[in-house]
A and B are shown apart, each in its own frame.
Chain A
Amino acid sequence: MSDDSCYHCGAPCKSINIKIDDKSFCCNGCKTVFEILNQSNLHCYYDLTNNPGIIPSEIKGKYNYLENSEIVSKLLEFDDGNTAIIQFNIPSIHCSSCIWVLENLSKLNPDIRTTLVNFQNKTVHVTFSSKETTLKEIVELMTSIGYEPYISLEDASSGKKKQNRHLTYQVAVAGFAFGNIMLMSLPEYFQMDEFWLNQFKPFFRGLMFVFALPVLLYSAQNYFISAFKGLKNKILNIDVPIALGISVLFMRSTFDIVFNLGQGYFDSFSGLVFFLLIGKIFQQRTYNFLSFERDYKSYFPIAITKIGKDRREQNIPVYDIKKGDRLLVRHQELVPVDGILINGDALLDYSFVTGEANPVIKQSGDKIFAGGKQMGSSFEMDVLETMSQSYLTQLWSNDIFKKKKTYSIKSLTDAISKKFTFIILSIALISGLYWFFIDPTEAFNVVTAVLIIACPCALALAAPFALGNMLRLFGKNKLYLKNANIIEDMAKIDTLVFDKTGTLTTNKSHVKYNGELLSDKEKSYIKSLLRNSNHTLSRKLYDFIKEEPFLDVTNFKEEIGKGISGNCEGMGILLGSSLFVESNEIDTILQTAIWVKINNKIKGKFIFENTYRKDLQDVFKKLQQKFRLIVLSGDNEGEKERLRKLLPNQVAYYFNQKPQQKLDFIKDLQLKGKNVMMIGDGLNDAGALAQSDVGLAVSEDINIFSPACDGIIDAKKFRIIPNYLKLAKNTVLLIKISFIISFIYNTLGMYFAIQGLLSPIVAAILMPLSSISVVIFVSLGTGYLVKKTDICH
């Protein structure tokens, strides 16, 4: 570990020295965590991993709402007045030290009984004695050591989800039956008409039947249900031929053993169901720690401070906010409803909600919309609309958020199965008729054999394994899709729509200086002055200016929304808007700048420009060959010229788009027959993301909120987007090839079946062989595709 990195979190330590013994820390927060842990002998935290810590965030007053018993009871999973259990979502869990320290929470607060971490889901189960301690104390404790639980409206409103382990049970039953039936059918495969074998035949066959029953009635039930639903809606989905094959297989086998005609196909039957279910499990794999269904509720806080008539502060759930209430919004808090600013200065960051890049200043009397984050100190507001009627939340009343996208109709497998079902039914009919005239006793045998062998199990397995495997490989490379079917949709995309703020740009803005050259001395004046301000632009400029020596600042004054001023070595320094420094030039909305005035002389201005992602130009160049590209932004047109120069000519631009307009824009494209992929990041894109065929959210940190979408992509992987799209296309091609392979198997089996030669042993070899070879083919194929298309770097 180098000396200048923080012992707690590993961040570089800046000029100010905060030290304990020989360990340096980057900030007081980190130092405090170290002290807390050291006092309780939890020092082991630092031995497990180097610099495991997270800088704790400020808690003062933030969790007061957890004193409200109504909110607490909504959050708790269990409470009998004595013991309470709660599950926290902690996005910052990232290493083994995190597990260790969280599971030793009881050492810090003895009233916490046990804590249990689930690393993959990033959750912690806390059992505590609700008599001795409160939820607020626990949350504050966790926040103080850097593990801030993520508590949102969603937690309070949705019921606790129960894990669905149904499929696991079904696979267990099928696998259990498959193994045992296989063992019992084996002797007859080597049948030599031995006396002792004949003696046990009925016993073995009876047992096989008993094992096969639960497979038919329990494990395979979903195929029958889905086939029935499909038929009811006049859709021939893939489950129709499967259900047909399974039931014919079972009936024929039962018929065989009842009339003592043979041993039946129970082993093939249970094996088939077992393989099919494994394919289903493979496809169902999802990323538990990510949520793709989030709406504004998970972005909004649970409670807000209300100021009563007697000026008493009280925490109320946001649901209970009524028109006319007076609310207090603190630093870093979110405005939950629309209202009018009463007093204090509001500096609201709407970047997440509307896509505007820079915070907006509001003065008393101004109308403020829900969703903005307060960057200034604190203000009071009067409520105009209740939560559900606010401008922002209204978007969610759009129908698009209510209906779930249906995949079953348009999927590739189902499209093929439609033709497939007709073909096998006609083959069965023709060969049945043929045999009926030649040898009526064989007709039944042949028809059932055709239906059995035609059961499209290899066909049904190809897509789940190819898509499931690709989903996993995408996930490894930081593109997390909601489910495997999205890959199929991705392959069809022909139009890409990009949001600007946060998607094409990074969070960091680029600073440019315009004006009279500043001396080093003057720069350090500016930096010393900036040190005192917490304004976002001040912080950005502070990081931008390299000059080190700090000087004492006197008469420091901050006028929120205007600028800062102070004296430094006798020089009067003003930093702020053009109005603040009394410049002749007036700031345009299209540009964000901080003006510099030293000793009553305007020196120049620092301009903040959006920084576009590094490989933006490359990505667009690659994409324009195959896709129509559109930039759809909620921001003003200020950056239009720059974008024009940067991006290829064919790109279309639309600015000042409100969330609803974005949604309608996508809908319009779809009506024109386009398959649209929306790539966005904020709540303002949520409608467009939901409306588009594939909605991809770009996220700097995948654990932090991203709106409802089909996939979340790590911002570092932005430049790989063309490769992901190419891979999706190739995956679909791979599935089509494996369809051909499985058709070859089916034809081969048909050759036996039509002649009435399908013995149980042929079925028992051919069916698993076809399934396994298709699975191996797609697994190797997807691996090869990923290797060929570079997505790892």
Chain B
Amino acid sequence: MGVIYIMILVSLLIALLFFVLFINSVKSGQYDDTYTPSVRMLFEDELVSDKDKEKLKTNK
């Protein structure tokens, strides 16, 4: 049953890893703004000009 020592240590290491990752993400400011990114992800990456729009329309 000595394997339990190893298993617990390994599981603790994994838990600690996530703990450190969480602390780092807080430190880097990821949780400072919880709203804007949710809007930002819906924007187009490139600017859509009127010409492109017309193209899209004709393709349809």
Contact = CB atoms under 8 A, between A and B. Distances in A.
A100 B43 contact: yes
Nearest to A98: B39
Contact of B39 (A41, A99, A199, A200): A99
Contacts of A550: none
B47 A172 contact: no
Interface in B5-59: 5, 8, 12, 15, 19, 22-23, 26-27, 29, 31-36, 39-40, 42-44, 47-50
Contacts of B12: 180, 207
How many A residues are at the interface, by size bracket?
20 to 34
Interface in A80-131: 96, 99-100, 103-104, 107, 117-121
A41 B49 CA distance: 5
Given A43-B50, A180-B12, A180-B15, A172 B36 contact: no
B23 A44 contact: no
A42 B33 contact: no
Contact of A119 (B26, B31, B36): B36
Contact of A199 (B1, B27, B36, B42): B1
B4 A104 contact: no
Given A176-B15, A180-B12, A203-B5, A119 B35 contact: yes
Contacts of B29: 163
A117 B15 contact: no
Contacts of B4: 200
A169 B35 CA distance: 21
A117 to B, nearest CB: 6
A168 B39 contact: no
B5 A119 contact: no
Nearest to B22: A172
Nearest to B16: A176
Which of B15, B36, B43, B49 is packed against the most chain A CB atoms within 10 Å?
A: B36
A118 B33 contact: yes
Nearest to A123: B33
Interface in A197-241: 199-200, 203, 207
B48 to A, nearest CB: 6
Contact of B47 (A41, A117, A119, A163): A41
Contacts of A196: 1
Contacts, number: 60
How many B residues are at the interface, by size bracket?
20 to 34
Given A169-B26, A196-B1, A44 B33 contact: no
A45 to B, nearest CB: 11
A389 to B, nearest CB: 40
A118 B32 contact: yes
A44 B5 contact: no
Given A43-B50, A169-B26, A199-B1, A163 B44 contact: no
A243 B19 CA distance: 26
A118 B36 contact: yes
A165 interface: yes
Nearest to B50: A43
Contacts of A42: 47
A44 B26 contact: no
Contact of B32 (A96, A163, A169, A207): A163
A165 B40 CA distance: 25
Nearest to B33: A118
A44 B36 contact: no
Contacts of B26: 165, 168-169, 172
B36 to A, nearest CB: 4
A486 to B, nearest CB: 25
A103 B43 CA distance: 10
A43 B15 CA distance: 48
A119 B39 contact: yes
Contacts of A41: 47-50
Given A41-B47, A44-B44, A44-B48, A120 B23 contact: no
B32 A99 contact: no
A287 to B, nearest CB: 13
B39 A96 contact: yes
Nearest to B12: A180
B4 to A, nearest CB: 6
A104 B47 CA distance: 9
Contacts of A100: 43
A44 B47 contact: yes
Contacts of A118: 32-33, 36
A168 B31 CA distance: 10
A99 B36 contact: yes
Nearest to A210: B12
B33 A121 contact: yes
A207 B36 CA distance: 41
Interface string A165-194: 100110010001000100000000000000
Contacts of A203: 5, 8
A176 B21 CA distance: 13
A176 B15 CA distance: 8
Contacts of B35: 119-120
B15 A120 contact: no
A99 B15 contact: no
Contacts of A40: 47
Given A41-B47, A42-B47, A103 B40 contact: yes
A326 B43 CA distance: 51
Contacts of A120: 33-36
Interface of B: 1, 4-5, 8, 12, 15, 19, 22-23, 26-27, 29, 31-36, 39-40, 42-44, 47-50
The 3 A-B pairs of least Cβ separation, nearest first, read A119-B36, A41-B49, A41-B47
10 contacts: A99-B39, A103-B43, A118-B33, A118-B36, A119-B35, A120-B33, A120-B35, A172-B19, A172-B26, A176-B15
Given A104-B47, A172-B19, 10 more contacts: A43-B49, A43-B50, A96-B42, A99-B39, A117-B40, A119-B35, A119-B39, A120-B36, A165-B27, A203-B5
